A and B are shown apart, each in its own frame.
Chain A
Amino acid sequence: MEPIIELRNVVKQFPGVLANDHVNLALYPGETHALVGENGAGKSTLMKILYGQYAPDEGEILIDGISCRYDVTGARQHKIGMVYQNFMQIPQMSILENIILGNAPVSKGMIDYASAEKKVRTYLERFHMPVSPHTLIRNLSVGERQKIEIIKVLYFDARILILDEPTAVLTPQESEELFQIIETLKEEQRSIVFISHKLREVIAVGDRITVMSKGRVVQEGWKRGEVTETEIARAMIGKQNVQLIQNQRENTPGKTVLELNKLWYFDELGVPRLRDLSLQVRSGEILGIGGVEGNGQTELIRILIGMLRPSYGEILVEQIDLTKASVAKRRQAGIGFVSDDRMTEGLVLDGTIEENVIAGNECDAKFSDGFLLKYGRIREYCKNLIGDYDIKGLTPGKHVKMLSGGNMQKIILAREIERKPKVLIAAQPTRGLDIGAINSVRELLLEQRKAGTAVILVSADLEELMSLSDRMLILFEGSISGEVTDVLHVTEEEIGLMMGGAGEHAEQKSH
Chain B
Amino acid sequence: MDIVTILTVAVRHAGPVLLVAMGGLLASRVNIFNLALEGFMLIGAFSSIVGAFYTGNVWLGVLFGVLASTLMIIIYAVFIIELEVQPVVCAISIITLASGLTRYLLNPVFGVSGRYVLSSELAMPVVHMNWLEAIPVAGQILNNHSLLVYFALVLPFVLAFVINKTKYGLDIRAVGMNEEAAVSAGIHVRKVKYSALMINGILCGLGGAELALSVYMFNVGMTNGRGYTALAAITLAGCNPLLSLITCLLFGFAESLVVSLSGVGFSSYLLGMLPYALALVAAVAPQVARRCIHFIKRKKSETEMISEYYRN
Determine the distance from Cα of A267 to Cα of B301 in the docked complex, in whole angstroms: 10
In the complex, which of the residues B184, B302, B305 contacts A72, with contact meaning CB atoms closer than 8 Å?
B184
The stretch of B67-75, B116-124, B185-193, B213-221 that contacts the partner chain: B185-193
* Nearest-Cβ distance from residue A254 to partner chain B, whole angstroms: 32
Instruction: Collect the chain B residues with CB atoms within 8 Å of residue A93's CB.
Output: 173-174, 177
* Interface hits, B58-93 → A, CB 8 Å: none
Determine the distance from Cα of A101 to Cα of B177 in the docked complex, in whole angstroms: 13
Instruction: Collect the chain B residues with CB atoms within 8 Å of residue A275's CB.
Output: 309
Q: Which of B297, B300, B306 has the most CB of A within 10 A?
A: B306
| A268 with B305, Cβ < 8 A, contacts A88-B181, A101-B170, A104-B170 known | no
Determine the distance from Cα of A269 to Cα of B173 in the docked complex, in whole angstroms: 24
Instruction: Collect the chain A residues with CB atoms within 8 Å of residue B183's CB.
Output: 53, 72
Determine the distance from Cα of A484 to Cα of B192 in the docked complex, in whole angstroms: 55
A-B contact pairs, 12 of them (CB 8 A): A53-B184, A72-B183, A88-B184, A89-B178, A90-B178, A91-B178, A93-B177, A101-B181, A104-B170, A109-B166, A110-B166, A264-B302
Determine the distance from Cα of A82 to Cα of B185 in the docked complex, in whole angstroms: 9
A270 touches B188 (CB 8 A): no
* Nearest-Cβ distance from residue B291 to partner chain A, whole angstroms: 9
**Does A272 interact with chain B (Cβ within 8 Å)?**
yes
B186 touches A75 (CB 8 A): yes
Determine the distance from Cα of A268 to Cα of B309 in the docked complex, in whole angstroms: 20
* Interface hits, A440-492 → B, CB 8 Å: none
* Interface hits, A89-104 → B, CB 8 Å: 89-93, 97-98, 100-104
Given A53-B183, A102-B187, A275-B309: 6 more A-B contacts, CB < 8 Å: A82-B184, A90-B178, A101-B182, A264-B305, A266-B302, A269-B297
**Does B180 interact with chain A (Cβ within 8 Å)?**
yes
Instruction: Collect the chain B residues with CB atoms within 8 Å of residue A268's CB.
Output: 294, 298
* Nearest-Cβ distance from residue B33 to partner chain A, whole angstroms: 18
Instruction: Collect the chain B residues with CB atoms within 8 Å of residue A89's CB.
Output: 178, 181
B177 touches A92 (CB 8 A): yes
Contact with A along B271-312 (1 / 0, CB 8 A): 000000000000000000000001001101110011001000
A101 touches B302 (CB 8 A): no
Instruction: Collect the chain B residues with CB atoms within 8 Å of residue A109's CB.
Output: 166
Closest to A276 in B: B309
Closest to A76 in B: B186
Closest to B306 in A: A312
Determine the distance from Cα of A75 to Cα of B183 in the docked complex, in whole angstroms: 12
Instruction: Collect the chain A residues with CB atoms within 8 Å of residue B305's CB.
Output: 264, 266, 272
B181 touches A90 (CB 8 A): yes
Interface residues of A, CB < 8 Å — how many?
Answer: 37
* Nearest-Cβ distance from residue A374 to partner chain B, whole angstroms: 38
* Interface hits, A381-426 → B, CB 8 Å: none
Closest to B290 in A: A268
A101 touches B187 (CB 8 A): yes
**Does A106 interact with chain B (Cβ within 8 Å)?**
yes
A88 touches B180 (CB 8 A): yes
> 10 shortest A-B CB distances, which residue pairs?
A102-B185, A270-B301, A88-B184, A73-B186, A101-B185, A88-B181, A102-B186, A270-B297, A72-B186, A76-B186
Interface size grouping (class) on chain B: 20 to 34
A111 touches B167 (CB 8 A): yes
In the complex, which of the residues A84, A111, A152 contacts B170, with contact meaning CB atoms closer than 8 Å?
A111
Determine the distance from Cα of A266 to Cα of B166 in the docked complex, in whole angstroms: 39
| A90 with B174, Cβ < 8 A, contacts A101-B181, A111-B167 known | yes
**Does A332 interact with chain B (Cβ within 8 Å)?**
no
B184 touches A311 (CB 8 A): no
Contact with A along B197-237 (1 / 0, CB 8 A): 00000000000000000000000000000000000000000
B165 touches A110 (CB 8 A): yes
Instruction: Collect the chain A residues with CB atoms within 8 Å of residue B300's CB.
Output: 270
Closest to A105 in B: B167
A312 touches B184 (CB 8 A): no
* Nearest-Cβ distance from residue A191 to partner chain B, whole angstroms: 19
Instruction: Collect the chain A residues with CB atoms within 8 Å of residue B294's CB.
Output: 268-270
* Nearest-Cβ distance from residue A72 to partner chain B, whole angstroms: 5
Contact with B along A49-77 (1 / 0, CB 8 A): 00001000000000000000000110110
**Taking beta carbons and an 8 Å cutoff, which residues of A are in contact with B?**
53, 72-73, 75-76, 82, 84, 88-93, 97-98, 100-104, 106, 109-111, 152, 264, 266-272, 275-276, 311-312
**Taking beta carbons and an 8 Å cutoff, which residues of B are in contact with A?**
165-167, 170-171, 173-174, 177-178, 180-188, 294, 297-298, 300-302, 305-306, 309
Determine the distance from Cα of A192 to Cα of B144 in the docked complex, in whole angstroms: 65
Closest to A72 in B: B186
Instruction: Collect the chain A residues with CB atoms within 8 Å of residue B178's CB.
Output: 88-91
* Nearest-Cβ distance from residue B229 to partner chain A, whole angstroms: 28
Closest to B300 in A: A270
A311 touches B177 (CB 8 A): no
A272 touches B177 (CB 8 A): no
Determine the distance from Cα of A72 to Cα of B189 in the docked complex, in whole angstroms: 11
Instruction: Collect the chain B residues with CB atoms within 8 Å of residue A73's CB.
Output: 186-188
* Nearest-Cβ distance from residue A110 to partner chain B, whole angstroms: 5
Determine the distance from Cα of A392 to Cα of B309 in the docked complex, in whole angstroms: 52
Closest to A97 in B: B170
Instruction: Collect the chain B residues with CB atoms within 8 Å of residue A100's CB.
Output: 170
* Nearest-Cβ distance from residue B236 to partner chain A, whole angstroms: 20
Determine the distance from Cα of A91 to Cα of B177 in the docked complex, in whole angstroms: 9
* Nearest-Cβ distance from residue B277 to partner chain A, whole angstroms: 28
B186 touches A272 (CB 8 A): no
Closest to B180 in A: A88
* Nearest-Cβ distance from residue A82 to partner chain B, whole angstroms: 7
* Nearest-Cβ distance from residue A488 to partner chain B, whole angstroms: 35
Instruction: Collect the chain A residues with CB atoms within 8 Å of residue B298's CB.
Output: 266-270, 311
Instruction: Collect the chain A residues with CB atoms within 8 Å of residue B306's CB.
Output: 264, 311-312
Q: Which of B165, B181, B188, B309 has the most CB of A within 10 A?
A: B181
| A111 with B165, Cβ < 8 A, contacts A84-B184, A88-B180 known | yes
* Nearest-Cβ distance from residue A445 to partner chain B, whole angstroms: 35
Instruction: Collect the chain A residues with CB atoms within 8 Å of residue B301's CB.
Output: 266, 270-272
| A101 with B166, Cβ < 8 A, contacts A72-B183, A84-B184, A312-B302 known | no
Instruction: Collect the chain B residues with CB atoms within 8 Å of residue A75's CB.
Output: 186
* Nearest-Cβ distance from residue B224 to partner chain A, whole angstroms: 37
Determine the distance from Cα of A452 to Cα of B306 in the docked complex, in whole angstroms: 35
Determine the distance from Cα of A72 to Cα of B309 in the docked complex, in whole angstroms: 50
* Nearest-Cβ distance from residue B280 to partner chain A, whole angstroms: 24
| A90 with B167, Cβ < 8 A, contacts A72-B183, A101-B187 known | no
Closest to B181 in A: A88
Q: Which of A92, A109, A269, A270 has the most CB of B within 10 A?
A: A270
Instruction: Collect the chain A residues with CB atoms within 8 Å of residue B170's CB.
Output: 97, 100-101, 104, 111
Determine the distance from Cα of A275 to Cα of B306 in the docked complex, in whole angstroms: 9
Determine the distance from Cα of A97 to Cα of B181 in the docked complex, in whole angstroms: 12
